[in-house]
Amino acid sequence: MINKIHDAINQYIETLEDSTLKDGISYALLAGGKRIRPLLMLQVIEHYGFDSNHYVDVAIALELLHTYSLVHDDLPSMDNDTLRRGKPTLHIAFDEATAILVGDALLTDSFNLIASSKKLSSDQKIKMIDILSKKTGSKGMVFGQILDIESEKQTIDINHLELMYFHKTANLIQASFMMGAIASNAFNDIDDWANIGRSLGFYFQVQDDILEYTSTPETLGKSKSDDVREKPTYVSLKGLDQSLQFLTFLNHSILEYQKKLQITDGPLLLTLEEIKKRKA
């Protein structure tokens, strides 16, 4: 499945006009990454017994949108990171203006990929675009990013941190599950997919905090910008032991929704387990 996602990303890149913009988009998308979000969407479709091959071109919209968020997060006006996925960040490899425009293009093109799908019905397209825009725009990921910026060098409580994590990280993971349910016409299950996405998103972000605290930039493949910019994290607010306890709590929540959604075997179960065990 990962190879099919990579192939679809390459096919998207080949549709672009030869330019610095294309070079920047290629650099950002092909720098690596686990492709977790499109993978989750496609595996939800497989969970319902449908052929996920018909939806790969839609699923990579999630990867484009996620990559846009990373490119913009790394900018000097945001986190000012110099390392991403073991390589110089886009604004370092190219320049800041190119990085901004690459992010703009990826964001816009992600919605075009959904709208252009030949497999989805008009109703499915509208529902997916509605979810993705809400989960990533001013009520979602972008709101989480402004909370993140405003938290620098500030004293915040755990409720504020969790609000930030929900919007910045959990929302797009929720969208991945929910879009898979929409493609499968499993509308009655969407709330349960949103809930498992919320728990997994929190797990992913707290796990990131722990890894940043316990690992080196070389292992992580990215800069430790939270320390440099004095950003609060779950570990800095609650300590390592309580952070690990919170992961255990979140894992119980994920397992409950796995049971409710009957995720008892197959690729989706393996992916969920791999996410929990990741080291970078």
User: What CATH number is given to the structural domain containing 198?
Assistant: 1.10.600.10
Kindly report, residue by residue over 55-76, the tens digit of the pLDDT.
999 999 999 999 999 999 999 9
How many domains does the chain contain in total?
Answer: 1
Q: Kindly give the residue spans of alpha helices, DSSP state H, lying in the chain.
A: 2-14, 20-29, 36-47, 56-73, 90-93, 96-115, 122-136, 141-150, 158-165, 171-183, 190-214, 217-220, 225-228, 234-260, 267-277
Output the pLDDT for position 86.
84
Output the pLDDT for position 36.
96
Output the pLDDT for position 179.
98
Output the pLDDT for position 139.
94
Low-confidence stretches of the chain (pLDDT < 70) are 216-229
The structure tokens listed for 197 are: 């996405």
Strands 87-88 and 83-84 turn out to be: antiparallel
* Alpha carbons 280 and 275: distance in angstroms, whole number: 10
Kindly report, residue by residue over 156-189, the tens digit of the pLDDT.
899 999 999 999 999 999 999 999 999 999 999 9
Output the pLDDT for position 191.
97
* Alpha carbons 217 and 16: distance in angstroms, whole number: 33
Round the average pLDDT of the chain to a whole number and report it.
93
% of the chain residues with pLDDT over 90: 84
Scan for tokens 């988009």, then name that residue: 25
Output the pLDDT for position 220.
58
Terminal Cα-to-Cα distance of the chain (whole angstroms): 21
- Which residue type is seen at 247? L
Output the pLDDT for position 6.
96
Output the pLDDT for position 32.
84
* Alpha carbons 272 and 246: distance in angstroms, whole number: 17
Torsion sign (Cα): 255, 135, 166, 57 = positive
Output the pLDDT for position 218.
61
The pTM of this model reads 0.92
Output the pLDDT for position 128.
98
C-alpha distance from residue 170 to each of 98, 100, 164, 261 (Å): 28, 24, 9, 19
Output the pLDDT for position 89.
95
Output the pLDDT for position 225.
58
Structural domain of 110: 2-277
DSSP character at residue 89: -
